[in-house]
Chains A and B, each alone.
Chain A
Amino acid sequence: MRRLALHLAILALLLGLAMFPTLARATVELRLVVWDGDESLRVLQQVTRDFEQAHPGIKVRLEAVDYRYFFQRLLSQIAGNSAPDVAMMDPQNMQMFAKRGALLPLDPLIAETPGFRLDEYYEPIVAVHRWDGKLFVLPRDIAPIGLIYYNKRLFREAGLAEPDGSWTWDFEPRPELDVGCFTHVMSRLTKKDNTGKVVQWGFAPSWTGAFTDTVVFSQGARYVDDPEAFRRMNFTDPRVIRAFDFVAKLATDRKWMPSQAELTSVVQSTAVDLFISQRVAMYQCGIWDVPKIRKALRPGSPEFFEWDITLAPGYKDPVTGTISRAAPTGGSGYGILASTRYPKEAWLLTQWMAGEPGMRAMAKAGIAQPAIMRLAQGEDWIPGPNTPIEQRYPANRIITDIAAKQVVFPPTADYWTEISGLVFSKTESIYLGTATAKEALTEGQTIASKRLETILKEESLPRFDWRVGCIVGFLLLAGVLGWVYGPELRKKRTTAQRMENRASLWFLAPWLLGALLFAIGPMIFSFLMSFSKWDIIQAADYRGIGNYREALFQDPRFWTTVKVTGVYTLVSVPLGMAFALALALLLNTKVRGIPVYRTFFYLPALASAVASALIWRKIFQPEGGLLNFVLFGKDGRGDFLGLASWLAPNGQLPNWLGDERLALPSLIIMSLWGVGGGMVILLAGLQGIPDYYYEAATLDGAGPWSKFKAVTLPMVSPSLFFTLITGVIGSFQVFTQAFVMTQGGPNDSTRFYMLHLYDQSFGSLRMGYASALAWLLFGAIFVVTRLQWKLNRYVYYEGAA
C-alpha cells in the first residue's frame, strides 16, 4: 500500500512537471481564432507562416474551433477578459459583438493605412459587416448559395441543352421554354422506376431552407422589415407562402427533389454526395463544395463525369417580364477584438488574412471565393489556360462574380435565430402534409410575433447593484449553513461527539475547500444573474423576478420542453435501470469469459459520442436502416414479434427520427445502449454479496426467486438507489443526444429543457434568462430527489454509521 502510494506520488510529480509548457517569448504574439476544418486550416497555417516571415517580430498563434462551439468559447473568453486578438466573424454573429462594443471599428485603422482600398471588395459583403455606420469585420470571402452544380452527362442523356443561367422558376413546368424553365428541367431529369420510386432526382438543395430563400428573395420578398433590427415579420406575404408551397410540392407531390427530411433521415446523404454518385443531376450550393467534388471526380478516374456550375434561376415578373435574381448567402471575415493590446499588429494581420495573400491562397485551393473583386475575377479563381487540369473544374467560375452582386444576407439582428426557429419548426408540417403553407406560416408568425414582443419590450432597467448582490450572496451562504447546522446548535454535544466532529473535518476538508473555491462562487453568481438581464459581454441589469415570470407565463417553448424532458425521464430511467440490473445479473453468473462480455457490454459507453451519433442515424434510417431491417425484413413485409404491424399499420416503414411521434422514443431506445455505466455499478454491488448469504438461504430451502428477493435485492439496493438518484438528475439535464441527433426536431418533439436553455444562453445571449431556467430546473430536481429520498428507508445499508 505504501509502495503504491509512493509510486503514485512520483507519477503525479512527473506529470505535473510535464504540464507547464515552456513558452517562447516573441516581441508581439497575436492570437487568431478561426473555425476552419482540417483542409482549409492547412492553407491558413501556410498563410500565417508567410505573414510571420513578412513581419518579423510578430508571432501568430492560430487556433481552430469548430463553428458549433466557436461563439460559446469566444464569449467565455471575452467575459474572462482573455479574448484573442483577431477572430473570425460572420454576418449572423457580427452584430452581437459589434453592438456591445466587443469589436474594434475598422474605419480609423483603414484611414491610417495608405493604399488600402475598401472599394475593391464586393459591396454587399462590406455593407453587411457594418453596424451603426461603422465597419467591424474585414470580409475574407463571400459565399452565395445561388449556384447550381450540374452533371453534363445526365443533361445530354435527357436530350437537354446545357443551362446558361438565364432560366426562371415559372412554378409549373413550361416545356415550350425548354432549358429556360428550371421546373421543366427538373422534371425531365427525374427518373422513377415502375413502382414510382425515384432512382434519380432532377435536383437537390443542400438545404431546403436556402432553396426556399432563393425563391422568396428572387420574387423580391423579404422575411422581415429591417434586417439589422426588425420589428415586423412578413411570413404571411403571398410571395413567401407561394415559395413554401412550391418547394414543398416539388418534394412531396412531384418528387423531383428530396425534401430536407428525406435528405437527413431517409437518404442520409448530403446533396453533394448524391451529385457525386450521380443520383441527382443538379444541386444547389455555394462554391465551397468544389474541393470535395474535385477530389472525388479526378479526370481519368472511373467516377469522373463532366460537370460545371451555373446561376440559380430567377423570377420572371408576369406583368413586366423582367427577370430578377437573388441568392441567400453566407460569408465570413476577420474582426479585431476591442480588448487587444496590439491593435496595429492585429490590423496588419487582418489585412493579410482578409487581403490579397490570404484570399489568393484560399482561392487557389478552391476553398473560398475572394471578397476582393479583382481577385475573384483573376486567374487564381477563374480558370485560364495556365490552370492545371485538376483545378479546371468548374470552368464557368466567372458566374460567381455575378452571383456575388445579387446576394441577400440573412437578417443580422441577434434575435433572428430564435424567432425564425419558432416559425421554421412549424413549416415542417407542410412537408408532412398536415398543414398548408398558409396555415403553417400564419401559425408560426403568430407565435413568433408574441415572442418578438416579449424580446423587444423596452424595459428601463437599473444596473445590477453588485454590492447588494454580494450581500445577498453571503446571506444565501449563511442561510444554507444555518439550515445545515441550525438544528445541531440546540442539541447537547458530548465530548465524543465533539471529537467526531473535529475528526470529520479532516476527511471533509477536500470537498469543503473545493466547494468554497470552485463551486459555491459560480453557483451564487448564476443565482444572482437569474434576476438580471445579462448578455455576457456588457454589465448586467437588474430585472427582478422578470426572468422567472417570462419562463413560466410567456415563453412559448418552456412547457413543451418540460413535457419532453419529463416524458423522457419517466420512461428512460426505469427502463434503463431494469436493463442495467438484468445485464449485471447475467454478468454475475459463473460463466467463462465474463471479462470479455463485460467489456463488450460497456463498449457503447466508451465510444465517441459524435461517431455513435452518425451510426445511430444510420440505424434509424427508414429504408436500409438496421432497425427497420430487423423489424420488417429485407422486403419490408416481415413482422418481427408482431411489432411491425403495430408500428406501421399502413405498411409504410417508420421514419424513426423524422416522425414527431417516434423521435423521442428513438432517443429513449438509443439511451438503453448507454446502460453500461449503471451495469458496472450494480455489478460491483452484486460482487460484494458474500457467498455464504446464498448458502444460508439454500440451507433454509429458498428457491431462486426468494433468494433474489431476500438476498440479492436488499444487498444491491444501495447501488440501485444510487443509479436511480443520479439517473434522474442526469436525465433531467439530458442534452447531447438531442444536440447531435435531432437538434430538437421534428416540430419540437425532442426539444429537451437543456436544449432550450443552451439556445437562450449562448445562442441568444440571454444568460440572465438562461440562469433563471437553470435554477427552475435545479428546484425541480431538488424536489424530485427529495421525494425519492423517502425510498432510502427501504435501502439496506449493512454498515451505516
Chain B
Amino acid sequence: MSKPGSVTRAKVLGLLGRMLIVGLLVIGCVVFVMPVYTSFAMSLKTPSELATTAAWSWPQNPTVANYDEVLSNPNVNFFRLFWNTVTISTLATIGTVISASLVAYAFAKMKFSGRDRLFAVMLSTMMLPAIVTMIPTYILFKELRWVNTFLPLTVPAFFGGGAFNIFLLRQFFMSIPKELDEAAKIEGAGHWTIYSRVVMPLSGSALATVGVFCFIYNWRDFMGPLIYLNDPQLQTLETGLATYNSLRSEQWHLLMAGSILVTIPLIVIFFLGQRYFVKGISMTGLK
C-alpha cells in the first residue's frame, strides 16, 4: 500500500493526462472532419449560395433539394447503382478475406521450400503501375467474355485478393504466438485445423481491417467499373457520380450531395466493422 498523498498525486496526474488526451482527440477530430463537413455544408446550399459564400460556412437556409435531384435523376438511377455497388463490393470482400487469409497463412505459418523468395515475387506484383497492364488485362477479360459483367471486378478477389491484403494478414498471423500452433500440432492438428480453429478466430481485428479496407476500395473504385462495364444499368455509384463532374459542366451542388450519399454507407460499414478491431488476442485470456 502506498501513502494516501501519493495516491492523490497519481490521480491528479492521471486526470491531467486524460484531459490532455481528450483535448488532442477533439482537436484532431475537428481537423479531420473538416473536409467532409465542408462537402456536407456545400451539399445543403443552392448553386447561387455556393457561388457567393465561403465553402465552410453553414448554409443560411439548408435545403435538401440537391439530394432530391440526385436521387430522382433518371440518368443516374441511384438505387440501381447502389445495388450494383453493394453486389460488387460484397463479393470482392468475401473473396478477398477468404483467399488472402489462406495465402497469408501459408506465408506466415508454414515452412515450405522457396517461401521467402516466393513472397518477394508476390510483393513485386504491387510494384508495377497498373496502367501498363490495363490493356492486356482488358484483352484477357474480353477473351473470357467477361466484359460488361461484374466478373472482372469480383472473380480476381477470390484468387488471392491482392498482395497488399496478403502481406497485411501475414504480418498479423506472424504475431500470433508460436506456442499456440505448436500446442495444436502436438495434439495432432493439421494445418487446416490450425488455420480454421486457431489462427482465424484469433485474427478478428486483422480480418475486419482487411474486410473494411477491401470493401471501401471496391466501393470507391472508379477505373475498374469505367473500363469493364458498358451498360448504364451496370454502373456503380462512383462512375455515376462522375456525371456531375464532367469537364464542361461541373455541378458542384449535386456532386457534393451525391458524394455524401455515397460516403454514408461506408461510414456505417466502418463504424460497424471497427467493433471487431478490438477483438484480438487480448480477448482470449491466453497466458
Instruction: Confirm or deny: B71 has a beta carbon within 8 angstroms of a beta carbon on chain A.
Output: no
Given the known inter-chain contacts A681-B209, A684-B206, A799-B173, please indicate yes or no for A508 contacting B142, CB distance below 8 A.
Answer: no
Instruction: Confirm or deny: A777 has a beta carbon within 8 angstroms of a beta carbon on chain B.
Output: yes
A8 to B177, CA, bound (A): 29
Instruction: Confirm or deny: B114 has a beta carbon within 8 angstroms of a beta carbon on chain A.
Output: yes
| Chain A nearest Cβ from B93, distance in angstroms | 10
A529 to B131, CA, bound (A): 13
Instruction: Confirm or deny: A523 has a beta carbon within 8 angstroms of a beta carbon on chain B.
Output: yes
- Would you call A514 and B156 a contact (CB within 8 A)? yes
Write the B234-253 contact mask toward A (1 if CB under 8 angstroms, else 0). 10001001111111110110
Given the known inter-chain contacts A273-B51, A586-B25, please indicate yes or no for A611 contacting B39, CB distance below 8 A.
Answer: yes
- Would you call B33 and A11 a contact (CB within 8 A)? no
Taking CB atoms, residues of chain A closer than 8 Å to B118 are 484, 508
Instruction: Confirm or deny: B61 has a beta carbon within 8 angstroms of a beta carbon on chain A.
Output: no
- Would you call A608 and B241 a contact (CB within 8 A)? yes
Which of B39, B136, B175, B282 is the one whose CB lies under 8 Å from A521? B136
Instruction: Confirm or deny: A785 has a beta carbon within 8 angstroms of a beta carbon on chain B.
Output: yes
A18 to B84, CA, bound (A): 9
- Would you call B278 and A687 a contact (CB within 8 A)? yes
In this complex, the interface size class of chain A, counting residues with CB under 8 Å from chain B, is 35 or more
A757 to B134, CA, bound (A): 13
- Would you call A503 and B110 a contact (CB within 8 A)? yes
- Would you call B177 and A799 a contact (CB within 8 A)? yes
Instruction: Confirm or deny: B6 has a beta carbon within 8 angstroms of a beta carbon on chain A.
Output: no
Given the known inter-chain contacts A80-B139, A513-B159, A601-B32, please indicate yes or no for A757 contacting B21, CB distance below 8 A.
Answer: no
Taking CB atoms, residues of chain B closer than 8 Å to A771 are 132
Instruction: Confirm or deny: A646 has a beta carbon within 8 angstroms of a beta carbon on chain B.
Output: no
| Dominant secondary structure at the A interface | helix
- Would you call B232 and A62 a contact (CB within 8 A)? yes
| Chain A nearest Cβ from B74, distance in angstroms | 8
- Would you call B159 and A683 a contact (CB within 8 A)? no
Instruction: Confirm or deny: A266 has a beta carbon within 8 angstroms of a beta carbon on chain B.
Output: no
Instruction: Confirm or deny: B82 has a beta carbon within 8 angstroms of a beta carbon on chain A.
Output: no
| Chain B nearest Cβ from A38, distance in angstroms | 5
Instruction: Confirm or deny: B184 has a beta carbon within 8 angstroms of a beta carbon on chain A.
Output: no
Taking CB atoms, residues of chain B closer than 8 Å to A587 are 25
Instruction: Confirm or deny: B47 has a beta carbon within 8 angstroms of a beta carbon on chain A.
Output: yes
Taking CB atoms, residues of chain B closer than 8 Å to A501 are 112-113
Taking CB atoms, residues of chain A closer than 8 Å to B105 are 507
Which of B112, B122, B151, B262 is the one whose CB lies under 8 Å from A511? B122
- Give the nearest-CB partner of B113 in chain A: A488
- Would you call B135 and A536 a contact (CB within 8 A)? yes
Which of B110, B122, B127 is the one whose CB lies under 8 Å from A507? B110
In chain A, residues 613-645, which have Cβ atoms closer than 8 Å to a Cβ of chain B?
A: 614-616, 618-619, 624, 626
In chain A, residues 57-83, which have Cβ atoms closer than 8 Å to a Cβ of chain B?
A: 61-69, 73, 75-77, 79-82
A-B contact pairs, 27 of them (CB 8 A): A11-B90, A11-B94, A12-B91, A67-B248, A84-B230, A277-B51, A288-B248, A503-B190, A515-B160, A519-B125, A604-B35, A606-B216, A608-B262, A612-B35, A612-B39, A614-B252, A676-B32, A684-B206, A684-B280, A688-B205, A726-B167, A798-B177, A799-B173, A799-B180, A800-B178, A801-B109, A801-B174
Given A501-B113, A503-B110, 13 additional A-B pairs, CB 8 A = A40-B249, A45-B75, A63-B232, A79-B138, A507-B195, A514-B156, A615-B38, A687-B280, A715-B175, A722-B171, A798-B175, A798-B177, A799-B177
Residues of chain B having any CB pair with chain A under 8 Å:
18, 21-22, 24-25, 28-29, 32-36, 38-39, 42, 47-48, 51-52, 54-56, 73, 75-76, 83, 87, 90-91, 94, 99, 102-103, 105-106, 108-115, 117-118, 121-129, 131-142, 147, 149-151, 154, 156, 158-161, 164, 166-168, 171-178, 180-181, 190-192, 195-196, 201, 205-206, 208-209, 212-213, 216, 220, 226-227, 230-234, 238, 241-249, 251-252, 254-256, 259, 262-263, 266-267, 270-271, 274-275, 277-278, 280-282, 286-287
